[in-house]
Amino acid sequence: MTVTLPSIAILGTGSMGGAILAGLVRPEVTVEGGIRVTNRSTAKAEALASDRVTSLATEIDPDANRTAVAGARVVLIGVKPAMVPALLEEIADALEPDAIVVSVAAGVTIATMEALVPSVVLRSMPNTPAVVGRAVTGLAAGTRSTADDLDLVSAVFATVGEVLVVPEDKIDALSTISGSGPAYVFYFIEQLTQAAIGLGFTPDEAALMVNNTFLGASELLASSDVDPAELRRRVTSPKGTTERAVAELEKADLAGLFDRATAAALARAKELAAS
């Protein structure tokens, strides 16, 4: 399916901004008016430049961010959270009247952004699988945004995965699941890999088993019409080995552990927002 989007600027094209850029330059995506991106270093800017991307470096052009937003309908703010207010102050009077400013920074509230720029503001929370086009992006409307604004920005993030529109008061909670969630999965993979090594497998053999087991299980879930609990039951034969292993996980209160982990992440998100 082809997608046509209006002009886009990405200010701060680090890992997340770069992942979104990768979605925007896919062959089936057309960005009318072009894509402009900024970075601090010339080397990074040169690496991102192409016939579809105008890439600017702030180290040689102090006005690079202002240049990038000129003519841009959607402006993605990809710098670190502490840098967002200063960047918004820098570009405020260079934004187009119809610009939509979208932050991907954790902890920076819509109220903070709306106080600094006159534009429509939205807040987003993508996750790292955006790099492979499998993101889950939470998107929250600002007080000035319309349904059309949400639809447009949703279309931008849809180039790298799925989009879930939520109230802003759920963005931090969403970040504890989809934002931090990949780390939980990787941690589980780490531990299962170490268990396999402990059983006598080489690191390469353990990685092959564990990585592909997670990949296969995920693809099975994606292609199935039943929920994870039912798929787990189908693997767990009565009085079998898996049943015995799952009993140990339940004995360790894995459900409570996830509750405590997500609560800790949410508390930290609120601390960041307050600061």
pTM over 0.75: yes
CB–CB of 11/87 below 8 Å?
A: yes
Report the Cα–Cα distance between both ends of the chain, in Å, rounded.
Answer: 42
67 CB-side CA count, 13 A: 14
Q: What is the per-residue pLDDT across 152-186, written as a single tens digit (0 to 9) for each?
A: 999 999 999 999 999 999 999 999 999 999 999 99
Reading the block at residue 97, the tokens are 């009247």
Reading the block at residue 238, the tokens are 């009565």
3-state secondary structure 112-137: HHHCCCCCEEEEEECCHHHHHCCEEE
Q: What is the per-residue pLDDT across 116-142, written as a single tens digit (0 to 9) for each?
A: 999 999 999 999 999 899 999 999 999
Domains of the chain: 3-167 (3.40.50.720), 181-274 (1.10.3730.10)
DSSP 17: H
Contacts of 44 (CB under 8 A, 6+ apart): 13, 57
